[in-house]
Each structure stands twice: as structure tokens, then as C-alpha cells.
Amino acid sequence: MEKARTLMVDRILLQLLFLVSLAGNLFWMNDQSVNKDRFTALQNEINNLDSANQKMNQKLKMFTDPDMMIVSLRGVEKHADSKAVVFWDKKTKDVYLNAENLPKAPEGMQYQLWAIADGKPVSAGMYSEEKDSKVSLANIPNAQAFAITLEKQGGSAVPTMENMFVIGNI
């Protein structure tokens, strides 16, 4: 009988140890899951910061390139707070646009860059956030000014003057 009691106590102790071990493992696994989520969030933040850093370095390179003409575009009366910058490579005549300071285009609309060459508007390409300062929008050999209008998605053959946001002379 004493032996049976000892076996029963041993089983109870083993079951208690098993339950403590199980609780400890569940706690550890939960902690690992939280750490994994934190690691993923930090990795995403690092990737976002790295992307922003690359974008800033690209813009800095453009600002310091002696062959790059920088044309500031200021908001017209209806859009006085709007701003943009055109980078015009004097050697290649490629045109780049930084339009981060324009309001987000409404659904179905897109910003279009125009060069004023010989007094006439010439489309210099459609702006999108993916192209911002990274992709040449057009090659413009001669321009006296640049302007941006808001057009239907895909652009227009002629600028919609009442939708002009910014303009800047060279």
C-alpha cells in the first residue's frame, strides 16, 4: 500500500512537472512569436528607411550635378501652396521631376509636365510617384519654362489651363 501511494505521488508529481513544462513551453512560444513580429516590423522599418535614404542620395546627386539645371515651379493663384522641382540635364536634355509637394491626384487623374518651348506647350510626360526624380520623363532640347497641369489619366495633347498647378521660368 505504501508502494502504491508512492507511485501515485510520483505520477501526480510527473503530471505537475509536465503541466509546468507545458506552460513554460507555451509561454516561450508566445514570447518567440512576439519577438518574431517585432523583428519583422523592425526589418520593414529598416527597408523603408533604406529606400528613403537611396531616394535622398539620388536627389542629392541631382542637386550637386553641375550639368543639372534646377527649375523651381511655384503654385499658381488657385494652388499657391503647391511646389515642384524640374531637373533639366543641360548635356542630355533629359527632364526629371520631383513633385512631392503636389496634392495627391484624384482617382482617374494624373499630373502632366509641360515644357514651354518657343512659346508653345510641349508635353514633357506624365508624372507618377514611382517616377519621382528617378526616371526621365522626356527629352526637351529647348525650353523657356515648365508647368504642371492635372489631366485625365494618360494625359492630354494640350494643357488644361484651368487645371494648372505650378509654373516656373528658366
User: 89-133, pLDDT tens digit by residue?
Assistant: 999 999 989 888 899 999 999 999 999 998 899 999 998 877 776
Whole-number percent of the chain with pLDDT over 70: 98
Are the CB atoms for 109 and 79 separated by under 8 Å? Answer: no
Structure confidence at residue 133 (pLDDT):
66
Q: For residue 82, give the 3-state DSSP assignment.
A: coil
- 80 and 44 fall within a common domain: no
Spell out a b/e string for 65-84, using b for 16 or more CB atoms within 10 Å of the CB, else e: eeebeebebebeeebeebbb
Q: pLDDT grade, residue 137 (50/70/90)?
A: confident
Structural domain total, the chain: 2
Q: Which residue has the cell 527632364?
A: 95
| Structural domain containing residue 113 | 67-169
Enumerate residues 6+ apart whose C-beta is below 8 A from 122. 114, 115, 116, 140, 143
Residue 153: pLDDT over 90: yes
Q: Which of 64, 91, 112 corresponds to the end of one domain?
A: 64
Same domain flag for 81 and 159: yes
Residues 18 and 85 in one domain: no
Question: What are 51's three cell numbers?
Answer: 529606400
Check residues 102 and 33 and name the one with the higher pLDDT: 102
Indicate whether this model's pTM tops 0.75. no
